[in-house]
Amino acid sequence: MTKNQDIPLIFRRMEAYDMRMRLLKIFTVVLIAGLALFAQEEKKGGKKGPSPFDNPQNLKLLQKDGLRNTMLSFNTALGVMCGECHMANPGGGFNFPSDENPHKNVARMMISMVRDINSKFPDGQQHVRCYTCHRGSTMPLTEPPK
């Protein structure tokens, strides 16, 4: 074996680069395998029991269809997690139908407001959504940041 110092620096660098690429490839394969497994678990329904979206109990404004995506869009628009508007169960998880978390009814008011605003546009399109004002925050700005 040659001593490390005998190898010109450029080759030593290349060797280090090769090693990194190999690690990256291994990592990618493991990641893809993991994702495939995860997808399978999802299809089987996993061990989590029925999805709370399958049979909603307390919808006053929204439709069951697309409810999951709507909820995810709320999270993104306000920069929060589900627990911002939903009551946590003492044993873990959430009681989604419950209206005990006051933010949930604020959100209902906001849904009505957004529908009202959009109804003023003559083309029936959604021009304003939660993100339009919230931009990833619970407190929309009323003036430009200083």
Q: Which residues bind ligand HEC (CB under 6 A)?
A: 52-53, 56-62, 71-72, 74-75, 78, 80, 82, 84-86, 96-97, 103-104, 106-108, 110-111, 114, 128, 130, 132-134, 138-140
Amino acid in position 138: T
Shortest Å distance, C-beta 75 to ligand HEC: 5
Q: Of 39 and 88, which CB lies nearer to ligand HEC in the complex structure?
A: 88
At 3, list the tokens: 């001593």
The single-letter DSSP state of residue 122 is T
Q: Of 17 and 38, which CB lies nearer to ligand HEC in the complex structure?
A: 38
> What is the rounded CA–CA span in Å between residue 64 and residue 52?
11
Asked whether the CA dihedral 129, 57, 39, 21 is positive or negative, the reply is positive
Shortest Å distance, C-beta 40 to ligand HEC: 22
Asked whether the CA dihedral 141, 72, 53, 64 is positive or negative, the reply is positive
Shortest Å distance, C-beta 137 to ligand HEC: 9
Q: Of 50 and 90, which CB lies nearer to ligand HEC in the complex structure?
A: 50
Strands (E) in 1-146, as ranges, are: 87-88, 94-95
Q: Of 22 and 64, which CB lies nearer to ligand HEC in the complex structure?
A: 64
